[in-house]
Structure 1
Amino acid sequence: MQIATAALPDGVLGLRSAYRAGTLRPREVVDGMLARIAARGADAVWISVAPAAELRERAAELERLDPAALPLYGIPVAIKDNIDVAGFPTTAACPAFAYPPAADAGAVRRLREAGAVVVGKTNLDQFATGLNGGRSPYGVPESVFGGDLISGGSSSGSAVAVAAGIVPVALGTDTAGSGRVPAALNGVVGLKPTRGLVGASGVVPACRSLDCVSVFTRDVADAAAVLCVLAGPDPDDPWSRTGPSLPPGLTLALPEDLDFEGDAAMRAAFEAAADRAVARAPGFVRTSVEPLREAGDLLYGGPWLAERLTALEDFLAAHPEEVLPVTRAVVEQGAAFSAVDVFRARHRLQELRAWTDRLFAATDLLLLPTVPTTFTRADLAAEPVGPNLVLGRYTQFTNLLDLAALAVPAGTTADGRPCGVTLVGPAFSEDRLLAAAGALLPPLVPAPVPSIPEVS
């Protein structure tokens, strides 16, 4: 029997149409996906994968159901390994931390109930601490663009799984940019919803008050379809919330003080994308982004590090040598902050939120580069901390300021590296962001999917 190991180019909506038309069955999709995983070999994308027999059993179960009754019928999904999936250990990329969850996380439960096929758990920066994708004892995934380019983190495996065409959907998490940085570095879409819109029960906390479940897909329409399934109250998450969707709007704010770390090619690629967006927008304003950067600096330079320590303090005390040194060094900085530091930072953050409110009173959306430059895995091995802060320059502020964000691919630099841009909007502006991406930033340029021949 010939099993096609080609990518799943049609994504959620294409697979949905094929299933409903009767031209494709879940078993065929599962077999093709398993063959592609095998063909890629030891790519450091996965921490654990469901046994083939279980995946085929799930496919058979679905084939007894009506495809039109389930919005994600037969859609393979990957789950970042700091999100609980029953039947898989949750490791957070730390073997000594691993535990068997009693139940699916709230977001995973919604996916399963909608007909999805949960394939396995993906690699990440340990305890979701980092934006480079290299802080894991399970290996360091490479971007699908090759050239030793980092995959980005902390949701490294999830982004590569989608970009490589293994699955059309993957869940990540996003506290400082972990759902957007790897999207940019792999040429896919990364949706970071409003905090609380997608329940975070069953997620290993990084900064619990800021953590979001994020979505990776290869196009914006698929991200919208998945968000329709995921969004809603989560009774097991005290941070869960809902709100009215904001009306459409296409007036852009464009930054006037960007820093690309001297990367002229990335600056040129971003400016070209911005010019295309402005040509389609009904209007735009210029704005400084320095207040946003100041807010973002509070995440890794302020008392929110203490919130990270809150989640891991007991484990670090009991297993100090089981945590990567760079992860431990970052998290243990949280012990240096006092209660006075916390309130001082909260007061300043409130002032920065007021500035942000005024910005979005004058405009609908903010367009930013997702990352200012790129790095290789060798770069990050040599210097793991400084480049990580560079990668988060235009992502770290969003959850602190209660914003929503959508990262989309915007082509490549002149030397072939991926360029990603991010649309940022107020809380509950997901519909606005998704519509604006299609209106202002077409065509979206997906990541290159490697061509792998059919195998017997």
Structure 2
Amino acid sequence: MTSASTPYIGFQLRDWQQHYQSAPDSLRSALGIVVNSLSDHDNAWLYRVSADQLEDQIVQLEALRQQSGGSLDDLPLFGVPFAVKDNIDVAGWPTSAACPAFTYVAQQDATVVANLRAKGAIVIGKTNLDQFATGLVGTRSPFGAVTNTFNPDYVSGGSSSGSASVLARGLVAFSLGTDTAGSGRVPAGFNNIVGLKPTKGWLSNHGVVPACRLNDCVSIFALTVSDAWQVARLAASYDAEDAYSRVNPHTAPAAMSSQPRFAVPDSLEFFGDSQAEKAFQLALENLSSSGVTLVKIDFTPFKALAEQLYYGAWVAERTVAVGKIFTDSPEAMDPVVRNIVANGLNYTACDAWRAEYLRAELAQQINQALAGFDALVVPTSPTIRTLQEMEQEPVLYNSQFGTYTNFTNLADLCALALPSSLRDDGLPAGITLIAPAWHDGALAAFGRQWQRSLSLPLGATGKTLNADHAMTGPMPVSRDHVRVAVVGAHLTGMPLNFQLTQRNAVRVEQTRTASDYKLYALANTQPPKPGLVKAEGGSNIIVELWDIPLARFGEFVAEIPAPLGIGTLQLADGRSVKGFICEPWAIASASDVTSFGGWRSYVEHLKSTASSTANNA
């Protein structure tokens, strides 16, 4: 399943951006090399772009570039090749869901594909999958099993097997999968790559062949967390064409707390796989050494909900999704998939409502159990199996793979699968972080740090994370948050800091204002507060930057008393952020404390003075 090596193997988004900046006219030649390198015998691909289809995309992209005046600023994915799971529509291309009898030619792009192409990305192929996205194994396809990229005797994981495989080998910069019960996470864990399973409804499912519409998510595979997060944000949009699309409420934190607390299942099952157990224990040790507090919680409701997906009335949703081909041409389906889908006929409408009531009860218990934690950490899969083993127990072993994935969408949680180590047998091991809906960005912020700390190879490319890809600086400003500079009583450890933390605000960094600000201690304020004023003869004043969820910003501002308010501050490095300012009339009765360089130093000075006075009394 190898492909010819090219200069672009393992290229990440930053690599492609730098390439086109230095060689802006190389679009056809670079993509031609990528496409021509793909093997005709690689069953991870079900359909590869033709020369005419590639040229059509290039012409459309060049037109987009002309519209932006030749600049690439509005095309962050300019010329970046990506793969699409073959249950997601690409206009003019066949969609098969790995069932030849089901195949149709898509009339338009799925919304996520359209969004990514509008940002410059180029589809170079569609990928193999467990038929109708039913499975976590990567073997339930009439086009053959997609094998593991580290050892071909083992499964790749599914159902997004092909998308994970081509990504892990560095043939594309990112790929699209889907995730209903873990299909965007298990293949990531088995192939040493990142799998981002977003909050349900954040990415549109319009143009995606449904598996279980209530739980389906388009997922992202990438070599790095940074790339997965950037692609997800570019692919996401509210879509009126998708009945389950949702608007981001803008209430979630931008990152985890500086001292994260992770929940861990109180009972862990690895089905006799001692290497998987050893790898997870190593991951927990690495998390602890990085400052994460680990707390065991009762895993019973998680396990109970996971079992509902295939052993309860929820399987009937797959029966509905598959539709006519199951009733009219059942022989056209994979036998294992057909038997699973057939089980849906065993349930009544009453059973379905009972299943929904149970789901709601267990989901509430799960979300209550996760309150107070930044995430739940689990093994991405408790074990891995060979192709031969999977033939012997196709249903049982598939079920084992879903032990720590099946409950996620049913409980309306988001997840991020991360590489954690390579086992002694050379196979990858991974962990998954799971958090409440819309906490995707917080998971990604932590995942960036985690990936940077391990220095593991990227997928099966043999490459490691480059320093210029590591994004070691402050988090970029999020469109879902307001970055605010605080200067006094809202600083970390100060009396009003709780007004930030109780609104899921996250500290980004400590920095300084531009050099033309003065700091005053305001008279008659409780707790004592400073006033920051832009004035000649000023200095650089220490401030902290905090990201406040957009929906919580208004209520935060409403608590700010006169003479203070929120305006725009200039920082020493030239950035502009929202921050505390003071009305000039309050300065007349205030004390100039600019010389202290910041409010904390002034408060410490007052404490020291008071202590000396008391000792001399």
Deviation of 1:228 after TM superposition, in Å, equals 1.4
Q: Deviations over 1:46-86 (max 9, x none)?
A: 11111134324534654562322202111111110111111
Structure 2 residue 439 is matched with structure 1 residue 429: yes
Shift of 1:383: 2.1
What's the offset of the Cα at 1:317?
1.1
Structure 2 residue 288 is the aligned partner of structure 1 residue 283:
no
Closer/same/farther in 2, CA of residues 105 and 328 from structure 1, 3 Å limit: same
Structure-2 separation of matches of 1:385 and 1:405: 24
Aligned to 1:13: 14
Following TM superposition, by how much is the alpha carbon of 1:23 offset from its aligned partner in structure 2, in angstroms?
6.9
Question: What is the DSSP-based 3-state SS (H/G/I as helix, E as strand, rest coil) of the residue aligned with 1:67?
Answer: coil
Could you tell me which residue of structure 1 aligns to residue 420 of structure 2?
A: 410
Q: Which amino acid aligns with 1:54?
A: Q
1:103-182 matches, within 5 Å, as 103-182=108-187
Say if 2:461 is the partner of 1:449. yes
Aligned twin of 2:46:
47
Q: Deviations along 1:189-226, whole A, 9 cap, x unmatched?
A: 11000000000001111001110000010110000110
Counterpart in 2 of 1:95?
Answer: 100
Cα deviation code 1:318-354 (max 9, x no counterpart): 1111111111100110111122222222222222122
Q: How far, CA to CA, are the matches of 1:55 and 1:17 in structure 2?
A: 22
Shift of 1:359: 2.0
Matched with 1:233 is 238
The Cα offsets for residues 261-287 of structure 1, whole Å up to 9 and x where unpaired, read as 111111111111111112223533211
Report the CA distance between 1:240 and its aligned residue: 0.2
Amino acid at match of 1:5: T
Report the Cα distance in structure 2 between the residues aligned to 1:245 and 1:407, rounded to whole angstroms. 23
Q: Is structure 2 residue 188 aligned with structure 1 residue 189? A: no
Offset of residue 232 of structure 1:
1.6
Q: How far apart are the structure 1 equivalents of 2:424 and 2:347?
A: 44
Task: After superposing the two structures, state which structure 1 stretch, 44-53 or 87-96, moved more.
Answer: 44-53
Change (3 A) 1:383 1:409: same
Q: Which deviations, in whole Å up to 9, do the C-alpha atoms of 1:279-299 show, x marking residues without a partner?
A: 223533211322111101100
Normalized against structure 2, the TM-score is what?
0.70
Asked if the contact 1:162–1:218 (Cα under 8 Å) also holds between the matched residues in 2, the reply is yes
1:67 aligns with 2:72: yes
Structure 2 residue matching 1:37: 3-state secondary structure: coil
CA distance, structure 2, for counterparts of residue 409 and residue 36 of structure 1: 27
Q: What does residue 396 of structure 1 align with? A: 406
- Equivalence for 2:349: 339
Change (3 A) 1:356 1:98: same
Partner of residue 81 from structure 1, selected from 80, 86, 100: 86
How much is the aligned-residue C-alpha RMSD, in angstroms? 1.8
- What is the CA–CA distance in structure 1 between the aligned matches of 2:62 and 2:207, rounded to whole Å? 29
State the secondary structure of the residue aligned to 1:44.
coil
Question: Following TM superposition, by how much is the alpha carbon of 1:367 offset from its aligned partner in structure 2, in angstroms?
Answer: 0.7
Tell me the matched-pair count: 447
AA partner of residue 388 (structure 1): N
Write the distance in 2 (CA, Å) between the matches of 1:308 and 1:87.
26
Structure 2, unmatched stretches of 5+, are 66-70, 464-617
Q: Are residue 314 (structure 1) and residue 324 (structure 2) matched?
A: yes
Distance 2:103 2:433 in 1: 36
Deviations along 1:347-401, one digit per CA (max 9) or x if unpaired, are 2222212211222212111111001111111211222111100111111110000
SS of equivalent to 1:346? helix
Unaligned runs of 5+ in 1: 452-456
Give the Cα separation in 2 of the matches to 1:43 and 1:172: 18
* 2:222 counterpart residue number: 217
1:454 matched to which residue of 2?
none
Deviation at 1:312, TM superposition (A): 1.9
Confirm or deny: 8 A CA contact 1:6 1:36 kept in the other structure: no
Preserved contact between residue 278 and residue 440 of structure 1 (Cα < 8 Å):
no
Structure having the higher strand fraction is 2
Letter in 2 for 1:298: Q
- Name the CA distance, whole Å, in 2 between partners of 1:42 and 1:147: 15
Measured in 1, the distance between the counterparts of 2:277 and 2:25 equals 43
> By how many angstroms is 1:405 displaced?
0.3
Cα shift at 1:177: 0.3
**Paired letter, 2:445:** A
| Contact 2:84/2:126 (<8 A) preserved | yes
| Distance 1:245-1:192 versus aligned 2 partners, 3 A rule | farther
CA contact (8 A) 1:81 1:92 kept: yes
How is 1:366-377 mapped onto 2 (pairs within 5 angstroms)? 366-377=376-387
> What amino acid maps onto 1:267 in structure 2?
E
Question: Which residue number corresponds to residue 246 of structure 1?
Answer: 252
Distance 1:271 1:313, change over 3 A: same
2:336 alignment partner in structure 1: 326
Bigger Rg over Cα: 2
Change beyond 3 A, Cα 1:132–1:165: same
Question: Which of the numbers 297, 304, 311 marks the counterpart of 2:314?
Answer: 304
Structure 1 pair 35/313, CA: closer, same or farther in 2 (3 Å)?
Answer: closer
Q: Distance in 1 between matches of 2:167 and 2:292?
A: 33
Give the whole-Å Cα distance in 1 for the aligned partners of 2:234 and 2:202.
Answer: 11
Structure 2 counterpart of 1:44, one-letter code: N
Amino acid paired to 1:377? L
State percent identity of aligned pairs.
40
